Amino acid sequence: MDYTDLYINGEWRKGAAGVRFDVLNPATEEVLTSVASAEIDDAAAALDAAEAAFADWAGRTPRERSEILRKAWELMTARLDDFARLITLENGKARADAMGEATYAAEFFRWFAEEAVRADGMITRAPASGARIVVQHKPAGIAVLVTPWNYPAAMGTRKIAPALAAGCPVIIKPASETPLTMLALMPLLEEAGVPKGLVNVLPSKNTGPLVDHLLHDPRVRVVSFTGSTGVGRKLLHAAADNVLKPAMELGGNAPFLVFEDADIDAAVEGAMLAKMRNLGEACTAANRIYVHEAVAEEFTTKFTQRMGELKLGNGLDAGVDVGPLVNAATRDKVAAFVSDAVSKGAELRLGGQVPNRPGYFYPPTVLFNVPSHADCVQDEIFGPVGAIQTFDDEDDVITRANDTEYGLVAYVFTGEMGRGMRICERLDYGMVGLNRGLVSDPAAPFGGTKQSGLGREGGHEGMLEFMETQYISASW
């Protein structure tokens, strides 16, 4: 079956307005297929379905919910190749990268299958009155999930799994660039035993009005969004009208600090992972690489060599490391960042030219001695460009690293653990990779500070985002 319609109440629907939109292959710029576009009437139907499914699902035992999530993990793990191929087709990332995402995405079902039975409360006695203080966690209600295009599988499962574990029904609005992976997940969830109406998927080109309508329905109690800070602010404004619980994973501008006592080879490999995972199209991507001047040339030479070894091409082709960016606008923005940096004095060590070929390709690029006023230092690059600056003082580089409105993730490479922990504590970021280029893990609370968001995804905290804490004062 071709899963390209809306998915509401366990059924595939054409959409109330009969409108469809095209999904492109970014490696060829050709149309993969067309997908139904949801409108307000479709949102109303999804809300009705979610409301009808809520009471039964919330009333099931944690173990029942856990077993269904566990089954979803088993089924997805058995079909990783299929999901990886679909991710590559609509997103562009290389097949190996897509396989990594599919594996990571499936893991959220396993993790939250285990957390579903651990919504622990407590009973204590009030010191003054002697009353019993009973605290428990209850499912909050219908959750609206808005997911981005850069991880079309993982950003969905990272929200769906904790919501279902908590006892909540969901309505998902996937990015219009990459709706196919989330739609393809629905038959798998059916097979796992997820009841009708519990998970609904509304791809749409009319995103703003559609999501606004959902957030203003009194039955909705949670909104979870991953995407840009600008869009996140708008959703927070809309969520305020109904005082919704917000979980926002927003933009980043990650600093990557390499100190003079670091293992340079390990730092280079860490930078490759932090920079080139998902072609740099990630809020966690290393955006500003600060290297101590004593090791700056060694690091830059080795990093440039590794970047130059990467093969550019269609992500489905064997041996390809770097696929296309997701669309023309993203590619053109990356190209503009590089041109701006070079015009302001940055040294181009590698890449920097848009290939003359179909597809939204941009080559691995290295910039050295990038000035602090370059646009790529002030904003997310979201592409395969390593922007390197140097430093010679610990206090100075920490100040520079913190000098941004964002606070999602930072990376630190140093040979002394005590120094590393001291630096981590001074960095104003929700997550830090210490001698690691990867921080994402289903078992860890993912999220940022400042303009990088509210709440956490993953870990035990991820499930609590979809629950309300209830306190009962009791005497017996």
249 included as an active-site residue: yes
- Phi, psi dihedrals of residue 19, rounded to the nearest 5°: -90, 145
168 included as an active-site residue: no
Angle at 185 between CA 183 and CA 187, to 5 degrees: 95
Residue type for 304, please? T
d(CA 467, CA 222): 9
Instruction: Tell me whether strands 170-173 and 199-201 are parallel, antiparallel or unpaired.
Output: parallel
List of residues 6+ apart from 353 with CB closer than 8 A: 363
Structure tokens that stand for 181 in this block: 């992976």
Cβ atoms of 370 and 386 closer than 8 Å = no
List of residues 6+ apart from 233 with CB closer than 8 A: none
Helix (H, G, I), strand (E, B) or coil at 39: coil
Instruction: Tell me whether strands 406-407 and 409-413 are parallel, antiparallel or unpaired.
Output: unpaired
Cβ atoms of 323 and 88 closer than 8 Å = yes
- Checking 455-459 for CB contacts under 8 A at 24+ apart, the result is 455/224, 455/246, 455/247, 455/248, 455/249, 456/247, 456/430, 457/158, 457/159, 457/162, 457/224, 457/226, 457/247, 457/249, 458/108, 458/111, 458/158
Q: Which of the following is catalytic: 107, 115, 281, 283? A: 283
Cβ atoms of 64 and 186 closer than 8 Å = no
d(CA 392, CA 166): 48
Helix (H, G, I), strand (E, B) or coil at 150: coil
Q: Which of the following is catalytic: 107, 115, 249, 465? A: 249
Query: Alpha carbon of 346 to those of 231, 337, 394: distances in Å?
Result: 31, 11, 23
Query: Alpha carbon of 4 to those of 20, 27, 160, 175, 205: distances in Å?
Result: 9, 21, 20, 14, 14
> Where do runs of H (alpha helix) occur along 309-455?
328-343, 375-378, 394-402, 417-426
Which active-site residues does the annotation give?
Answer: 249, 283
